Amino acid sequence: MTEKDSRIPWDQYFMAQALILALRSTCDRAKVGATIVRDRRIIAGGYNGSVSGDEHCIDVGCYVVDGHCVRTIHAEMNAILQCAKFGVATSGAVVYVTHFPCLQCTKMLLQAGITKIYYMKDYRNDPYAEKLLQNLGVEAQQVSLDPKYFAELVGTDI
């Protein structure tokens, strides 16, 4: 591996951050993380979980209505809300999400001015969400993590 190849590419670096955030998820149905980035700097992160101070799914179970856990705030929304709470602009930023965003999160990301969505896993990709992205010229790009960048750190392949 050359010296240049030994450094993790930016897209994998930020996706790894989203993956680490997903480890904090408090919903057992899906552990999702999101990292918002502008100019190669992380401006916010989020994971799916309950409203701060409320009960968590991992403690009391999911509150499912029509097949969805209504207790959970999605990772993308938590990241956008973190920006709102601390007065950080999202216009022109990109997002790295462990799972393809649901329709509501896609609409929210677009409305917040996110210019590109990087995701690791396909997850119930909504056709209308994909159409919105296409219509508005916002690219969704799948990112895979190359185990060679992590094997030395963790002592094994991921």
Catalytic residue set: 76
Distances (CA, A) of 96 to 17, 29, 32, 149, 156: 8, 20, 11, 18, 24
How far, in Å, CA of 146 to CA of 6, rounded? Answer: 11
Q: Helix, strand, or coil here: 33?
A: strand
**Closest to 12 measured CA to CA, from 107, 133, 96:** 96
- Residues 20, 130, 146, 80, Cα dihedral to 10°: -20
**Closest to 78 measured CA to CA, from 45, 56, 102, 55:** 45
Which amino acid, 65? Answer: V
How far, in Å, CA of 9 to CA of 122, rounded? Answer: 21
